[in-house]
Amino acid sequence: MSFGTGKIWMNGTLVDWADAKIHIGSHVVHYGSAVFEGARCYDTPRGTACFRLDTHMARLYDSAKIYRMEPPQSKSDLHAAVLETIRANKYKACYIRPIVYRGYHTLGVNPLPVPVDAAILLWEWGAYLGEDCLTNGVDVRVSSWARAAANTFPTLAKTSANYANSSLIKMEAITEGYSEGIALDTAGYISEGSGQNLFLVRHNTIYTPPVTASILPGITRDSVITLAKDLGFKVREEMLPRELLYIADEAFFAGTAVEITPIRSVDKMPMGNGRRGPITEALQQAFFDTINGRLEDKHGWLEFVYEGEPRAAAVAGARAARA
């Protein structure tokens, strides 16, 4: 199945894709008052497995808290609803988009009286920037748009409103012939891409901007840091000057959509030798082997979806023990 087909979960009911509608007067349409997640499940040799769904649900509820939204379901109920929706659609692998939004009531800016609704959409989504980019890398520019300044739009919240900024970064890059833009923060330090975090490698050390650099703290970013340490690499989270982009040996994006995608040039200057670097490749290998279930899941990142699959049985057992 592809985008536009199957069932969507809306406030507890599975509805056909074509019928999953909200009113034009909904608060979210006018004011971007939604928080959401983007997760994936993979078709592994041991069955269909969600990657770090617990962590995605935790970030969703953190985002909702920042915006004083009380989702209609508990975190564990919405988590269970994601699994139920995957099963109902019989997906083996898909992208997972839970969204919590302010619905229909009044159109005053004050969101507090407006009911909070939730939905879960699924669709098949391959390599976000193209399969070939996973090997050959992408050409990017430094965006003329900065990320939101501290104490303006909170970047630790994954809110729809923040994607107005992401859209500006992306449109500028695309119209000028690049795959992506890298935004700086308002102080001029490196922040992130329009929908992915950034890593640089120089002299065998891996660098990534800290959460104070107006980034969304990505779950892939956290996974990359963990895998890099597992592999014995030194990882530093620190404020990074723009010019480090031009003298880095390697660079790559990390995010649920792009997974790990090498960067081969910035502002038309080749990154390192202009090809995917060895540390990027080693991290891609560790990442893809983990998500595809080829490597032991030592961090407990995979949650199997269907009955009879390894972790599904364990989770069902744990639930029964708690009940």
Ligand X SMILES: Cc1ncc(COP(=O)(O)O)c(C=O)c1O
Q: Which is nearer to ligand X, 49 or 312 (CB)?
A: 49
Q: Is 216 in the site for ligand X (CB under 6 A)?
A: yes
Q: Is 272 in the site for ligand X (CB under 6 A)?
A: no
Q: Is 71 in the site for ligand X (CB under 6 A)?
A: no
Burial class (CB in 10 A: 0-12, 13-18, 19+), 198: buried
- To the nearest 10°, the Cα dihedral for 218, 220, 224, 225? 30
Q: Which is nearer to ligand X, 179 or 220 (CB)?
A: 220
Catalogue the E-assigned strands of 124-171. 138-142
Contact region with ligand X (CB under 6 A), list: 2-10, 24-32, 213-221, 225-233: 213-221
Residues 82-121, one symbol each (x = binds ligand X by CB under 6 A, - = not), give ----------------------------------------
Contact region with ligand X (CB under 6 A), list: 16-24, 191-199, 201-209, 244-252: 191-199
Quick one: which of 38, 103, 137, 277 contacts ligand X (CB under 6 A)?
38
State the pairing for strand pair 259-266/250-255: antiparallel
| The two structure tokens encoding residue 72 | 């209609």
| The two structure tokens encoding residue 302 | 């995979």
Burial class (CB in 10 A: 0-12, 13-18, 19+), 84: middle
Q: Is 220 in the site for ligand X (CB under 6 A)?
A: yes
65, 92, 158, 170: the active-site residue:
158
Q: Is 47 in the site for ligand X (CB under 6 A)?
A: no
| The two structure tokens encoding residue 170 | 């992306």
Q: Which is nearer to ligand X, 33 or 312 (CB)?
A: 33
Q: Is 284 in the site for ligand X (CB under 6 A)?
A: no
Place of tokens 């997906």: 91
Quick one: which of 103, 181, 195, 272 contacts ligand X (CB under 6 A)?
195
Q: Is 209 in the site for ligand X (CB under 6 A)?
A: no
- Any idea what the Cα angle at residue 41 is, between residues 37 and 46, rounded to 5°? 155
Q: Is 196 in the site for ligand X (CB under 6 A)?
A: yes
Burial class (CB in 10 A: 0-12, 13-18, 19+), 62: middle
Tell me which H or E stretch contains 111. none
User: Binding-site residue total for ligand X (CB under 6 A)?
Assistant: 13
From CA 67, how far away is CA 34, in angstroms rounded? 9
Q: Is 261 in the site for ligand X (CB under 6 A)?
A: no
Q: Is 192 in the site for ligand X (CB under 6 A)?
A: yes
CB 136 within 8 A of CB 277: no
Q: Which is nearer to ligand X, 6 or 195 (CB)?
A: 195
Residues 159-188, one symbol each (x = binds ligand X by CB under 6 A, - = not), give -------x----------------------
Residue 7 annotated in active site = no
Q: Is 57 in the site for ligand X (CB under 6 A)?
A: no
Of 119, 114, 92, residue with least CA distance to 19: 119
Find the farthest-apart pair of alpha carbons in the chain and give their distance in angstroms, rounded.
59
Q: Which residue is nearest to ligand X (CB)?
A: 218
Q: Which is nearer to ligand X, 114 or 196 (CB)?
A: 196
Quick one: which of 103, 209, 255, 262 contacts ligand X (CB under 6 A)?
255
Residues 6 or more apart in contact with residue 65 via CB below 8 angstroms = none
User: Which residues bind to ligand X, rule: CB under 6 A?
Assistant: 38, 166, 192, 195-197, 216, 218-221, 255-256
